[in-house]
Structure 1
Amino acid sequence: MYQNVIDSDLQDGIDSKDLAKNLEHWMTELPQQLRRVPIIYLAIPGSHDSFTVDITMNSKVAPDAEKILQKLQCLLCLRYIMARWSKTQSYSASEQLRSGIRFFDLRIATKEREDNLYFVHGLYSDEVQTVLDDIVSFLETHPQEVVILDCQHFYGFTRQTHIRFMQLLTSTFGAKLLPYTEHMDFLTLEYLTTLFGYQVITVYRSDEARFGQPLLWPSANFPNPWPNTYNQTDLFNDLDSGLKSRSLSVGFVSQCILTPSLSYIFKNLFSNLKDKCGFDLEDIRTRWISKQCPGPNGGFNIVIADFVDLSDNLFAKTVINLNLKLLNVQNLKPCYPILTIVNEANNKY
């Protein structure tokens, strides 16, 4: 039965060798065979520190910054340097979505004398509600696309702030939020979007605050280890090790990023993160990703990067096209029991 499905997909022109021709709709246009593969086995591109595009030298120092930087925030020259090393993305939320990014790394903070919440990375960036509105607007017009929101860090949050933020998430996305489930091996794009209209998975990495919230997912379902190194050799050794040891029953996030130390930044004050950790890493990042294999055999799933706009969205295109490897019958064999479950579920609706 599954061989017939693959053959029919290939006959329909799926063997074009490019799944990233239309980045804005790449999930929608995946061959049906891939839309029936669990999302924990798909290759999905994401952005690291996703919403920093609005950081400028006039941005205020955020509570996630080093304490010494917070004390010296009145120095305009300091904020000028911080802005050059804090901005990790050149695209807005809408631009990232149109460029194929489907996993977002959220760092959220409060601001004194304000009720609004903001995204931060050393400095304050976009207002949270504005970005969430952009995401839901995209999803409304792209009903077959799915995003994963990783609420990674919270700064200045109290119990009441958590409650307010969780209410903001549920009120913004409503029925699009996928409720937490213990098992993930039946969560395919077809199951999520076609059968039930789910388009948002929200990981909430504060288990104490999240407890009892059925629409938010715990950290354990999407392990997201941080390499915390500026050495390229160490980075890729760490990434390889993570993939080898990952659990195949949940998702997995590979952070393909370099993290400069304060001493390194001080040695390169007049450079910036994009030059030192973007352009310098891009070629080897692309080569490493190209060698990976999604699915239960290879283990590759979600990968996040800085400056996803480089070289005309080469990062997203490279990741998305890894899914072509899943059209190989041998790579899909371990998925057969899962596909059986999905097909049985489909027959019920």
Structure 2
Amino acid sequence: MLGRKLRMGTICSPIPSGTKTSSSDVCNADWMASLPPHLHNVPLSNLAIPGSHDSFSYWVDEKSPVGPDQTPAIMRLARISLVKKLMKKWSVTQNLTFREQLEAGIRYFDLRVSSKPGDTDQEIYFIHGLFGIKVWDGLMEIDSFLTQHPREIVFLDFNHFYAMDEAHHKHLVHRIQEVFGSKLCLACNVESLTLQILWEKRFQVLIFYHCPFYKQYPFLWPGKKIPAPWANTTSVRKLILFLETTLSERAPRGAFHVSQAILTPRAKTIARGLVGGLKNTLVHRNLPVILDWVKTKKPGTMGVNIITSDFVDLVDFATTVIELNDLLQEDRALAKC
């Protein structure tokens, strides 16, 4: 067990001697490949897997129109340039790029996408209040990592679609197929999906598509296979109670489970912390408490599975989640006794 932890704790790139490292410097690029053999045949739905919330929002475009996920009132206000600058402080929920998140150990990505007003080429963008990068660019970045790390598996959860008709959906799905090709895992029985099976078939990407369009493609998994209950609260106490309750209600079979360990600002929260933004107003002071909750959890049939967070680099989030899998090793050791 110690050997695996040492491998997980390596640094992705050399750092000068004497330089202090942060949690974002720790490299978990091959943590799945480094799991001990007896976990290779455990269903992925029973492993602890770190994820990020609004995974793409490390960059948003202040110069683009406000996204169609916003109300008409916000769209009118956003004609004032200062409003977009303030929106950015609340739209950004991550500091790390896709590549950096992957190297840190993140394997589940929460994706919201939209067409852009005035575009005639059916291009699709990530969206969270403001438009982010093109989906194509993000997928290419993920694919590049996966090619270099052939035993790592990712969950791409397309759960919100805005201003998209059938042609847009077809364009997006064809892009997904073009980028990942044979890495795409066909939808199947959740319990049958283990690291060993995926490695043998050379599958690395699970695509969840929360839209009836998934029925047209065998590599699109229905959204119901990956429920992600949302607490919708600013209270860390209420959040933890919600996470505990929804975990206890988790279906024992047939689906993955996402614990969204995130706080959601209300209008008055934004008004009070307008200039500070999401990170300084809600996340900084509450993330350590959320991480303490994570440390008390255990993966398994009715345990935690995928856990997501905002600003995954601010604490040792990914490593903390990954190391919960050590508890499955302890179970095995006790069984031998």
Query: Which of 154, 162, 165 is equivalent to 1:158?
Result: 165
Query: Is 1:247 aligned to residue 251 of structure 2?
Result: yes
CA deviation after TM superposition for structure 1 residue 47, in Å:
0.4
1:83-113 deviation line (CA, Å, top 9, x unaligned): 1111000011111111110000000010122
CA deviation after TM superposition for structure 1 residue 17, in Å:
7.4
Query: Which of 300, 304, 307 is equivalent to 2:308?
Result: 304
Q: Alpha carbons of 1:332 and 1:202: their partners in 2 closer, same or farther (altered >3 Å)? A: farther
Percent of pairs with identical residues: 37
Residue 24 of structure 1 aligns to a residue whose secondary structure is coil
Q: How does 1:177-326 map to 2 (within 5 A)?
A: 177-181=184-188, 183-193=189-199, 195-206=200-211, 208-249=212-253, 250-296=255-301, 298-311=302-315, 314-326=316-328
CA deviation after TM superposition for structure 1 residue 24, in Å:
0.8
So what's the TM-score if we normalise by structure 1?
Answer: 0.86
Residue 203 of structure 1 aligns to a residue whose secondary structure is strand
User: What residue is the counterpart of 2:13 in the other structure?
Assistant: none
Structure 1 distance, partners of 2:63, 2:88, is 9
Residue 105 of structure 1 aligns to a residue whose secondary structure is strand
Q: Where does the alignment leave 5 or more consecutive residues of structure 1 unmatched?
A: 1-13, 334-349
Q: How does 1:59-74 map to 2 (within 5 A)?
A: 59-74=64-79
Structure 2 distance, partners of 1:331, 1:238, is 32
> Which amino acid letter does the alignment assign opposite residue 8 of structure 2?
A
Q: Is the 8 A contact 1:111 1:118 kept in 2?
A: yes
Query: Is 1:120 aligned to residue 122 of structure 2?
Result: no
Structure 2 distance, partners of 1:105, 1:25, is 21
Q: Is the 8 A contact 1:290 1:318 kept in 2?
A: yes
User: What residue is the counterpart of 1:20 in the other structure?
Assistant: 8
Aligned residues: 314
Q: Is the 8 A contact 1:257 1:277 kept in 2?
A: no
Structure 2 distance, partners of 1:273, 1:20, is 30
Structure 2 distance, partners of 1:124, 1:231, is 28
CA deviation after TM superposition for structure 1 residue 262, in Å:
1.6
User: What residue is the counterpart of 1:336 in the other structure?
Assistant: none
Q: Is the 8 A contact 1:35 1:190 kept in 2?
A: yes
Query: Is 1:54 aligned to residue 59 of structure 2?
Result: yes
User: What residue is the counterpart of 1:138 in the other structure?
Assistant: 145
User: What residue is the counterpart of 2:156 in the other structure?
Assistant: 149
Q: Where does the alignment leave 5 or more consecutive residues of structure 2 unmatched?
A: 11-27
Q: Is the 8 A contact 1:292 1:322 kept in 2?
A: yes
Q: Is the 8 A contact 1:248 1:299 kept in 2?
A: no
Query: Is 1:327 aligned to residue 324 of structure 2?
Result: no
The alignment's C-alpha RMSD in Å is 1.6
User: What residue is the counterpart of 1:170 in the other structure?
Assistant: 177
User: What residue is the counterpart of 1:7 in the other structure?
Assistant: none
